[in-house]
Amino acid sequence: MLSRSSAARTLSIALLVAAGASQVGAQQTPRTRRAIPSAEWSAFTRTFDTQTDSEGIVGGAVRFICDGRTLAHHEHGFADRARGVPVTERTIFHFASITKTLTAISIMQLRDRGRLTLDDRVTSYIPELRMVHDPYGSMDSVTIRMLMSHAAGFQNPTWPWTRGEDWEPFEPTTWNQLVAMLPYEKLLFKPGTRFSYSNPGFIYLGRIIEQLSGDPWETYIQKNIFSPLGLARSYFGATPYYLAADRSHRYYVLRDSASGRDTLVDEGADFNPGITIPNGGWNAPLTDVETYLAFLTNAARGDTALQHRYDVVLPHTDLEEMWTPRYPTGPDAGPNAEEWMGMSFFTLKQHDGATFVGHTGDQGGYTSFMYLNPKNQCGVTAVFNTQNLISRRNGTAFNTIREAALRLIE
């Protein structure tokens, strides 16, 4: 829960002062300028830097927008510590499960084109799923809508039996590997009754997209989301040669068993997410994610050509349908639950009335978050290239920075 006791924590509508213009990049709009007051911005960047350093995070960055324009940005640390390469606006990171929102938008596109309905049986497209043991009835009861809301009953991990052996792949690399595991899996609860986060569910959605479009999932996203939105530096899989200099390395903080000391492990830049790309494969600079956020907030600012491109990707009414809370994510199932799942998007409801929509990411050493405030068309996205795997500290910096960032888009 975020504290909202101080009115000074809200975004102000004011003229940018010259002293803050170098770091707080507010842009002129036809109506007004928005700015984060310099004292609040300084406090936030101190929190950002202090928290990342305290948890051993090598590098990270954050960007704020309002009305589709850059409000502020901050970069800290290194993209490649060994070579002394700093994080910049051009640095490319991996955004993990934020990718799921791309998959869900693709399903909505196909729905709008009459290729499917959200209540279609998943087994109509993926009959192999009938091999999964369903102690609650028939696997035919699982629908596309349930997959999109993490309510189908599938387990969380794609690769549930890993022991961390060197010979094991990071994730299953082919569809056949996934199918071979299905007879040894079962649903964990009756489909449609509650939320439980599931990565395999979005692989199945990706499979449906491929069957109906005739394109590999990555190609479909490139054609139907990245290209119309102008996300020219976003990609999946291995980094293109011309972007390699901008790709961040990824790191883990581990405990060395021999010395008892924390150790930073550099895992290099690229890794293979295998068959899991539809639930965690997006690589991009934060500027591309910021452009995606502008689309999500429908911040066309009266530009009819831009509005047309937004509507080509997905009408805003469809996005609002996706944001509608469907299942509480925690034990509190009442109307006052703080976090809810819609269709791939999480909704955070705060006691002071603020509501945020977004998603987080966590994969391969990278962590990230992306949130928007539907009421004021403001949003924030941040990413870090290091995971601290020591349980006593893991996640503290991420959560503290996320809470501070959300206070700035109230």
**What pairs with residue 388 in β-bridges?**
253
Q: Is 26 contained in some domain?
A: yes
Distance CA 397, CA 410 (A): 21
Distances (CA, A) of 118 to 94, 112, 144, 187, 224: 29, 10, 5, 20, 19
Q: Is 206 contained in some domain?
A: no
pLDDT band for position 398 (cuts 50, 70, 90): very high
Q: Is 360 contained in some domain?
A: yes
Q: Is 137 exposed, middle or buried, given 0-12, 13-18 or 19+ CB atoms closer than 10 A?
A: exposed
* Residue 165 pLDDT: 73
Average pLDDT of the residues of the chain: 88
SS3 content of the chain, % helix, strand, coil (to 5): 35, 20, 45
Q: Is 177 contained in some domain?
A: no
pLDDT band for position 144 (cuts 50, 70, 90): very high
Confidence (pTM)? 0.89
Q: Is 294 contained in some domain?
A: yes
Strands 386-388 and 251-255: parallel
Question: Which pairs with CB-CB distance under 8 Å and at least 24 residues apart come from 231-236?
Answer: 231/284, 231/288, 231/291, 231/292, 232/288, 233/92, 233/284, 233/285, 233/287, 233/288, 234/282, 234/283, 234/284, 234/288, 235/283, 235/284, 236/277, 236/281, 236/282, 236/283
Distance CA 77, CA 72 (A): 17
Q: Is 358 contained in some domain?
A: yes
Inform me whether the pLDDT recorded for 230 exceeds 80. Answer: yes
Residue range of the domain that includes 332: 7-104+217-407
- pLDDT tens, residue by residue, 323-375: 999 999 988 777 778 899 999 999 998 756 789 999 999 999 999 999 999 99
Distance CA 409, CA 47 (A): 16
Inform me whether the pLDDT recorded for 51 exceeds 90. Answer: yes
> Widest CA span of the chain, in angstroms?
65
pLDDT band for position 174 (cuts 50, 70, 90): confident
Q: Could you tell me how many residues make up the chain?
A: 410
pLDDT band for position 164 (cuts 50, 70, 90): low
Distances (CA, A) of 48 to 32, 45, 403, 404: 28, 5, 11, 9
* Residue 260 pLDDT: 80
**What pairs with residue 286 in β-bridges?**
none
- CB burial string 300-317: b at 16+ within 10 A, e below: beeeeebeebbeebbebe
Specify the higher pLDDT residue, 168 or 306.
306
pLDDT band for position 7 (cuts 50, 70, 90): very low
Rounded to the nearest 10 degrees, the angle between the axes of helix 38-54 and helix 396-407 is 170
CA contacts within 13 A on the Cβ side of 138: 8
Lowest mean pLDDT among 153-157, 217-221, 378-382: 153-157
| Cβ proximity of 308 and 175 under 8 Å | no
Inform me whether the pLDDT recorded for 21 exceeds 90. Answer: no
First to last CA, the chain: 14
Positive or negative CA dihedral for 340, 346, 349, 353?
negative
- pLDDT tens, residue by residue, 274-328: 888 999 999 999 999 999 999 999 999 999 999 999 999 999 999 999 999 999 9
384 closest CA partner among 138, 59, 37? 59
Q: Average pLDDT, stretch 250-273?
A: 90
Total tally of structural domains belonging to the chain: 1
Determine if residue 273 is left, alpha or beta; phi over 0 gives left, psi from -120 to 50 gives alpha, anything else beta. alpha
Q: What is the CATH number of the domain that holds 378?
A: 3.40.710.10
Q: Average pLDDT, stretch 122-126?
A: 98
Q: Is 193 contained in some domain?
A: no
* Residue 201 pLDDT: 96
- Give the range with max mean pLDDT: 210-219, 249-258, 327-336: 210-219
Q: Is 119 exposed, middle or buried, given 0-12, 13-18 or 19+ CB atoms closer than 10 A?
A: exposed
Q: Is 383 contained in some domain?
A: yes
- pLDDT tens, residue by residue, 55-106: 999 999 999 999 999 999 999 999 999 999 999 999 999 999 999 999 999 9
Specify the higher pLDDT residue, 55 or 162.
55
| Cβ proximity of 376 and 66 under 8 Å | yes
Other beta carbons less than 10 A from residue 110's beta carbon: 18
Distance CA 88, CA 250 (A): 15
